[in-house]
């Protein structure tokens, strides 16, 4: 599954080719060890990196516009909004992860 932010390219949420609903994907058949490529941690790192890249691009375009360069105002605003939406999405994912962790923490075994 990927999220396309207004033509900025897909913001990958799951590794390419993974199907979370396929049989055996949670039983270890489709899971990778932390040292291998893929895995939950790497998916989060990639998503954070993509959000950081969007914010860096937006900052660069705003800087060019402020210095009087020939930057199109509408493209700069779209870039800033893409970065903002990506950041808000990342924060919501973080909130869901923290909430899930707290729910697991409350469980009694």
Q: How far, in Å, CA of 59 to CA of 105, rounded?
A: 39
What tens digit of pLDDT does each residue of 16-35 get?
444 443 333 333 444 445 55
Q: What residue segments make up the domains of the chain, in order of their start?
A: 2-106
Give the residues across from 10 on adjacent strands: 4
Highest mean pLDDT out of 16-20, 37-41, 43-47, 85-89 = 85-89
| pTM for the structure as a whole | 0.62
């Amino acid at each position: 599954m990927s999220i396309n932010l207004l033509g900025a390219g897909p913001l990958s949420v799951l590794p390419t080719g993974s199907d979370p609903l396929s049989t055996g994907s949670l039983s270890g058949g489709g899971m990778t060890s932390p040292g291998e490529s893929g895995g939950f941690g790497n998916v989060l790192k990639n998503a954070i990196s993509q959000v950081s890249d969007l914010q860096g691009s937006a900052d660069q375009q705003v800087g060019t516009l402020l210095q009087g360069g020939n930057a199109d105002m509408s493209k700069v605003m779209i870039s800033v909004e893409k970065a903002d939406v990506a950041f808000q999405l990342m924060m919501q994912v973080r909130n869901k992860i923290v909430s899930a962790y707290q729910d697991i923490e409350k469980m009694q075994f």
